[in-house]
A and B are shown apart, each in its own frame.
Chain A
Amino acid sequence: MKVLWSWLLELCDLDKVPTVEEGAKALTRAGLEIEGLTNLGAGFTGVVVAEVVAKRPHPDSTKLSLVEVITERGGAATQVVCGASNVPAPGRRVLWAQVGATLPNGMTLAPKPVKGIVSPGMLCAEDELGLGAGAHGGIVVLAEDDPTPLGAPAQRALGIDDWLLEVNAPANRGDVLGHLGVARELCAALRGRLVLPDAELTEVTSGEGGLPGVVIVDVFACPRYTARVIDGVTVSEQSSALARRIAQRLRAVGVRPISNVVDVTNYVMFELGTPLHAFDADTLTAGEIRVAPAADGEQFTTLDKVVRTLVPGDMLIRDGARGIALAGVMGGLDTEVTSATTRVLLEAASFEAKTVRRTARRLGLHSEASHRFERTVDPELVAFASARAARLLAQVTGGTVRPGRAETYPAPRAVAPITVRLARVRMLTGVALDAAACRDAVERLGFTVTGSGELLQVTPLSVRTDVAREVDVIEEILRMVGYEQVVSTLPALRQPPGSLPLDRGDVVRKALAGAGAHEALTYAFQSAERLAALGLPATERRAQPIAVRNPMSAEQGVMRTSLLPNLLAAVARNLSHGRADVAIFEAGTVFLRRGEAVSERPLHELADEPTWAAGVLAGRRPAQLGPGTPYDAFDAKALAEVAIRALAGDAAITARASHGAAYLHPGVAGELLVGGTVVAWFGEVHPQVRKRLGIDAAVFAFDVDLSKVPVAGPAQMRPIAKFPGTTRDVSLLLDAAVPAARVTEVIDRTNQPLVNGVRLLEDYRDAKLGDGKKSMLWSIAYRAADRTLTDAEVDGAHEAIVTSLLENLPAARR
């Protein structure tokens, strides 16, 4: 809501007029945050009102004239060269940018010869002062009746010696969507008195009759409807001083002046917060205004020349059966006030907030009127707004107001007193307020108070539709007293806080960061295309993401079912920045359809939101000097194991080749199992997948379903070995296809109690070993908890294992 400082002050009677900064501060402190403060006249300096006393042609130019101006009655005239074609006759006033003046384009004026004659400054057009729509329409010539004195700053004549306040009106405060409401707040804050604008109709009323009947079919949607008739109207541009002032103010608050009639309805809306509408009364034929719901599919053409298709929830103002306005939103095209209009029907009404909001939202038609009605327009204010606008219409159009107003207001708004318990006030605010303080606070707001002692009866102003409960009044009291009166205390801790559930994500985040990867956060949504790049089979739950119905862009069209696409996109971005070495991970929520995945079915229930951890590696490991060695699938495997271990402690993790992860290279894909359940995948990202995501270099990834990883309790200490152990090595010649895990599995199955650890020392492949063969050197550690082992014991165990390996793998000893 834009508020003009001069307009605001006009509506306040204050003991001491505050500066605009003081006013803004007082309003902000009371809860009307002033988000912006603009000096409207700051664009230029040194431009003054001057009177033309003579003009004659430039001797060397047909287009230029020499204009003599004065800035005080009887003062010396100055000759200015002017190129405009509309230099007025002597006696009219213009705006003279004197030498030293600064203009919005940054220019500072100096005496300058124009075709041989020095001009001390220039006469200004609107666009040169940063006003108007930019078209150069000749110099500004003030109206003959313009009251601005000679020599005064041009800002005053232009109505921009003023400040514009940008008020952040809370959504529940429809009452401050007009200057009057803001003035009420300022008066409350500074203990001033509100000054209502003039709505006296006596001297502008004449004639009789001519009022239509008013029927409201749906009184919920329209609690009050009034109409007045003003006839003898001349629709024009802003010809009078009053009309110009209205237009200036509208322009300042961001509304384009249209005609004297429309300007008045807008002006009163900005003044009182009550939207109004003017119809050309001669286009209305039925003699009766009806406020009634639209028929399903009814067509209606609004002022903006758009044909709207309506639904029964929309309310229409009807002339008999014909729709003439979309209630509270916009008028109709064919009853619009035009330059030919001589009789105006002025609508002032209150339409119900939700009804207007639904219509405006459905049609995407947000007007100044609908904005206000959506936030509730007090029906009690409607009659005053009607009179105020009628008075101004008569004044600016030369018309007269027909006596009385047509009106239907079946259930006048009654404001009930609210019981306020002082004990409750003190308890909720934490401030020791007595009856006098509370009474003073609400009276400043114009509320009435009865009662005394510990119970007050407070009746809020009708416009304050947001104040209906005791707690609402308590907020008003605190607002007036000042939130800064509240001291700071800490709430007592009345019972021990409960234990915290383990945050799997945080446990894993810390572990993965400790292992050398940087944590990234990426959007929880992504494009369907990016997800599809993973190549997941269509039947998989993760291939059926939950779609956002109204995404900001297709890039954010679906909720992620995997952390990998956005992480891979981050890799691509890093590579494009020239950052070739990337090791990042994310632990976060993925969103899966609950139950059976049916992608076409709209989601009417919550999603499953398990936490996963995933990471991607590209480029090289950090090295002390020179480039490090390239990352490979085993870095990804290591990080996956770190993530699992962070939760599962020393539970056994087994690995096997994976055939189910479509986004991994078919030959470099593994999965990790804990307790027989696959909990993680790792490997090299499938070359086609990464290419689809714009990555040219090899990328390695892991993906862990943290919700499936069992959580170990606190680690329990194992005894530290007291007796030395020993190792025996065995070198095996194997089929290349036998995985290392198979060797450890056979060793495990041999069940030798002395085995204390198995390490692979060498995995050697060479054509000399024979076709499809490889050599592996394993080292097995033996130890007993209660004694030093003898060579014979160790040899026995080792031979048993080797025998088992040779038989079961099969393998040959090398």
Chain B
Amino acid sequence: MSELNQTDLTIQQLDLFESEFSSVIAPLADEQAIRAAQAQFLGKKGKLADAMKVLGKLPPGDRPRVGAVANRIKATIENEVARRLGELVEVAAQADLLRSVDVTLPARPMPAGRLHLLSQVRLEMVQLFAEIGFVVAEGPQIETDWHNFEALALPKDHPARDMQDTFYISEEIVLRTHTSPVQVRTMLTQPPPIRIVAPGFVYRRDDDLTHSPMFTQIEGLAVDVGLSFADLKGTLLHFVKRFFQKDLAIRLRPSYFPFVEPGAEVDMQCSFCGGSGRANGAGCRLCKGSGWVEIGGCGMVDPDVFAHVQIDAEQYTGFAFGMGIERMAMLRHDVNDIKFYYEGDVRFLEQF
């Protein structure tokens, strides 16, 4: 048996590293340990480097052969490291999928405030009238007697003033009792054609289950050439059908408001029972079995009002209507006491 020369011995030693590394790395299960094992063999002071120190002493002709073996061993170890690390990632990914949470735990609350129901309804009403060309107009809530009454054909000592029991600030200044003074202000400043809606707070000395001393109205006014009562009816019908998302009919009943002639009260088919007068096997409690509910007043602008704002009643006609926003919200959302709107009770506010 010939004695192995230095070159062969080195190669033999290098070849051993391969299996040695395999047995070192086999039990390791974390990246850090594997990297440490890799360094133990391939690092600057690792086994491979150590073994290769003899390279300079080998015959130059052998050196490429030894170098090639060393490179092969290095590649094998690196491949093995990469394979094992890949395995670890895969295992970790699989393990991660075993995680679970109790998804029935409560959601984390995000900021979620609500617009007041009356704001929501107001914005929606304004939007529905905007669809047919009505734009918003506004006026002061502390109003002159002239704008609130006189210009609307409600002179002092007129019994119709009894219909609107008034809060006074002084002899000539009132809290507006309706949004109708916005009609007057609009007609004084803007020539026809006019299409406005005026939502806003109004005040009357009245306080019970269905009356609040402060409440919200929305007023509509159209002034143009050739407007008729039929246009008024169509405008209201458009609103009712869209707002309630039901094919409800409306009915105009003759009534008296000094600032319109002809004047009418507006009824619509009850939104709750659909006009049948019956709900849940009994008389409908919303319309008291009549199938109709009252939603507001309306009419053709009275020539006396046109005279106050210097609009020629022969050339132009107009219609006006007014509705309570609380009432609309009540009809659609079943609010049974007007007080809830103004108490700031969070248990109410958070429902809508």
Please give the residue numbers on chain A whose beta carbons come within 8 Å of chain B beta carbons, in ascending order: 28-31, 33, 170-173, 353-354, 357-358, 374-375, 427-431, 469, 471-472, 474-475, 478-479, 483-484, 486-491, 493-495, 497-498, 500-501, 503, 506, 509-510, 512-525, 546-552, 556, 559, 566-567, 569-571, 573-574, 577, 579, 582-586, 589, 591, 602-607, 609, 622-625
In the complex the two chains form, is A623's CB within 8 Å of B109's CB? yes
Is B28 at the interface (CB under 8 A from chain A)?
Answer: no
Interface 9-mer from B8-16, B33-41, B75-83, B225-233:
B225-233
A667 to chain B, nearest CB (A): 28
Interface 9-mer from B46-54, B60-68, B337-345:
B337-345
A609 in contact with B142 given A171-B162, A171-B163, A430-B230 (CB within 8 Å): yes
Instruction: Report B-chain residues with C-beta under 8 Å of the C-beta of A353.
Output: 157, 159
Instruction: Report B-chain residues with C-beta under 8 Å of the C-beta of A525.
Output: 213-214
In the complex the two chains form, is B344's CB within 8 Å of A570's CB? yes
Is B169 at the interface (CB under 8 A from chain A)?
Answer: yes
In the complex the two chains form, is A624's CB within 8 Å of B350's CB? no
Is B219 at the interface (CB under 8 A from chain A)?
Answer: no
B183-240 at interface with A (beta carbon < 8 Å): 193, 195, 201, 203, 205, 207, 213-214, 222, 224, 226-231, 233-235, 237-238
B143 to chain A, nearest CB (A): 7
In the complex the two chains form, is B256's CB within 8 Å of A172's CB? yes
A490 in contact with B231 given A516-B111, A549-B170 (CB within 8 Å): yes
CA gap between A525 and B112 in the complex, in Å: 29
Nearest CB to that of A495 among chain B residues?
B193
In the complex the two chains form, is A518's CB within 8 Å of B262's CB? no
Is B349 at the interface (CB under 8 A from chain A)?
Answer: yes
Instruction: Report A-chain residues with C-beta under 8 Å of the C-beta of B57.
Output: none
In the complex the two chains form, is B106's CB within 8 Å of A624's CB? yes
CA gap between A429 and B346 in the complex, in Å: 48
B119 CB contact (under 8 Å) in A429, A519, A524: A519
Is B167 at the interface (CB under 8 A from chain A)?
Answer: yes
Is B108 at the interface (CB under 8 A from chain A)?
Answer: yes
A617 to chain B, nearest CB (A): 11
CA gap between A623 and B228 in the complex, in Å: 58
Nearest CB to that of B107 among chain A residues?
A624
A478 in contact with B229 given A518-B346, A579-B347 (CB within 8 Å): yes
B229 CB contact (under 8 Å) in A429, A495, A559: A429
Nearest CB to that of B161 among chain A residues?
A171
B106 CB contact (under 8 Å) in A427, A582, A625: A625
Instruction: Report A-chain residues with C-beta under 8 Å of the C-beta of B347.
Output: 577, 579
Nearest CB to that of A571 among chain B residues?
B344
Is B265 at the interface (CB under 8 A from chain A)?
Answer: yes
A487 CB contact (under 8 Å) in B106, B134, B233: B233
In the complex the two chains form, is A497's CB within 8 Å of B134's CB? yes
Instruction: Report A-chain residues with C-beta under 8 Å of the C-beta of B170.
Output: 549, 602-604
CA gap between A374 and B161 in the complex, in Å: 12
Is B317 at the interface (CB under 8 A from chain A)?
Answer: yes
In the complex the two chains form, is A483's CB within 8 Å of B133's CB? no
In the complex the two chains form, is B142's CB within 8 Å of A170's CB? no
Nearest CB to that of A621 among chain B residues?
B109
5 A-B contact pairs sorted by A residue (CB < 8 Å):
A353-B157, A429-B228, A483-B252, A516-B112, A584-B349
Nearest CB to that of A515 among chain B residues?
B111
A431 in contact with B254 given A567-B344, A606-B173 (CB within 8 Å): no
Instruction: Report A-chain residues with C-beta under 8 Å of the C-beta of B276.
Output: none
Instruction: Report B-chain residues with C-beta under 8 Å of the C-beta of A475.
Output: 254, 261-263
CA gap between A570 and B339 in the complex, in Å: 13
In the complex the two chains form, is A31's CB within 8 Å of B255's CB? yes
B184 to chain A, nearest CB (A): 14
Q: A471-B303, A486-B229, A605-B173 are in contact. List 13 more A-B contacts (CB 8 A).
A: A29-B254, A31-B254, A172-B159, A478-B262, A523-B214, A573-B343, A573-B344, A584-B346, A584-B349, A586-B344, A589-B201, A606-B144, A609-B140
Residue of A33, A486, A509, A585 contacting most chain B CB atoms (<10 Å): A486
B216 to chain A, nearest CB (A): 8
Q: Shortest 6 CB-CB distances between A and B: which pairs?
A: A570-B344, A516-B111, A430-B230, A31-B254, A170-B256, A430-B228
CA gap between A567 and B346 in the complex, in Å: 12
In the complex the two chains form, is B169's CB within 8 Å of A486's CB? no
In the complex the two chains form, is B213's CB within 8 Å of A427's CB? no
Instruction: Report B-chain residues with C-beta under 8 Å of the C-beta of A515.
Output: 111, 113
Instruction: Report A-chain residues with C-beta under 8 Å of the C-beta of B175.
Output: 548
A483 CB contact (under 8 Å) in B237, B253, B303: B253
Instruction: Report B-chain residues with C-beta under 8 Å of the C-beta of A574.
Output: 344-346
CA gap between A429 and B140 in the complex, in Å: 33
Mark contacts of B115-133 with chain A using CB atoms, 8 A cut-off: 1 yes-contact digit, 0 otherwise.
1101100010000001011
Is B85 at the interface (CB under 8 A from chain A)?
Answer: no
A645 to chain B, nearest CB (A): 15
CA gap between A173 and B160 in the complex, in Å: 10
B317 CB contact (under 8 Å) in A427, A487, A509, A548: A427
Is B251 at the interface (CB under 8 A from chain A)?
Answer: yes
Question: What is the interface residue range for chain B against chain A?
Answer: 35 or more
CA gap between A172 and B261 in the complex, in Å: 12
In the complex the two chains form, is B115's CB within 8 Å of A509's CB? yes
A744 to chain B, nearest CB (A): 26
A489 in contact with B226 given A516-B111, A548-B169, A589-B141 (CB within 8 Å): no
In the complex the two chains form, is A624's CB within 8 Å of B262's CB? no
CA gap between A547 and B175 in the complex, in Å: 11
Is B168 at the interface (CB under 8 A from chain A)?
Answer: yes
A521 CB contact (under 8 Å) in B130, B203, B302, B341: B341
Instruction: Report B-chain residues with C-beta under 8 Å of the C-beta of A573.
Output: 343-345
Instruction: Report A-chain residues with C-beta under 8 Å of the C-beta of B341.
Output: 521
B241 to chain A, nearest CB (A): 10
A547 in contact with B163 given A430-B231, A474-B262, A483-B264 (CB within 8 Å): no
CA gap between A573 and B143 in the complex, in Å: 32
A172 in contact with B160 given A602-B170, A623-B109 (CB within 8 Å): yes
CA gap between A214 and B231 in the complex, in Å: 54
B38 to chain A, nearest CB (A): 33
Is B172 at the interface (CB under 8 A from chain A)?
Answer: yes
CA gap between A354 and B156 in the complex, in Å: 9
Instruction: Report A-chain residues with C-beta under 8 Å of the C-beta of B349.
Output: 518-520, 584
Instruction: Report B-chain residues with C-beta under 8 Å of the C-beta of A487.
Output: 230, 233-234
Instruction: Report A-chain residues with C-beta under 8 Å of the C-beta of B162.
Output: 171
A197 to chain B, nearest CB (A): 26
In the complex the two chains form, is B159's CB within 8 Å of A374's CB? yes
Instruction: Report A-chain residues with C-beta under 8 Å of the C-beta of B237.
Output: 488
In the complex the two chains form, is B116's CB within 8 Å of A604's CB? no
Is B332 at the interface (CB under 8 A from chain A)?
Answer: no
In the complex the two chains form, is B350's CB within 8 Å of A518's CB? yes
CA gap between A641 and B343 in the complex, in Å: 26
Nearest CB to that of A476 among chain B residues?
B262
B248-287 at interface with A (beta carbon < 8 Å): 251-256, 258, 261-265
A428 in contact with B205 given A510-B115, A513-B114, A519-B119 (CB within 8 Å): no
In the complex the two chains form, is A521's CB within 8 Å of B342's CB? yes
A488 in contact with B207 given A428-B300, A429-B262 (CB within 8 Å): no
Is B331 at the interface (CB under 8 A from chain A)?
Answer: no
Instruction: Report B-chain residues with C-beta under 8 Å of the C-beta of A172.
Output: 159-160, 256, 258
Is B136 at the interface (CB under 8 A from chain A)?
Answer: yes
CA gap between A552 and B116 in the complex, in Å: 25
A542 to chain B, nearest CB (A): 16
Instruction: Report B-chain residues with C-beta under 8 Å of the C-beta of A585.
Output: 113
In the complex the two chains form, is A33's CB within 8 Å of B344's CB? no
Instruction: Report A-chain residues with C-beta under 8 Å of the C-beta of B201.
Output: 524, 589
Nearest CB to that of B256 among chain A residues?
A170
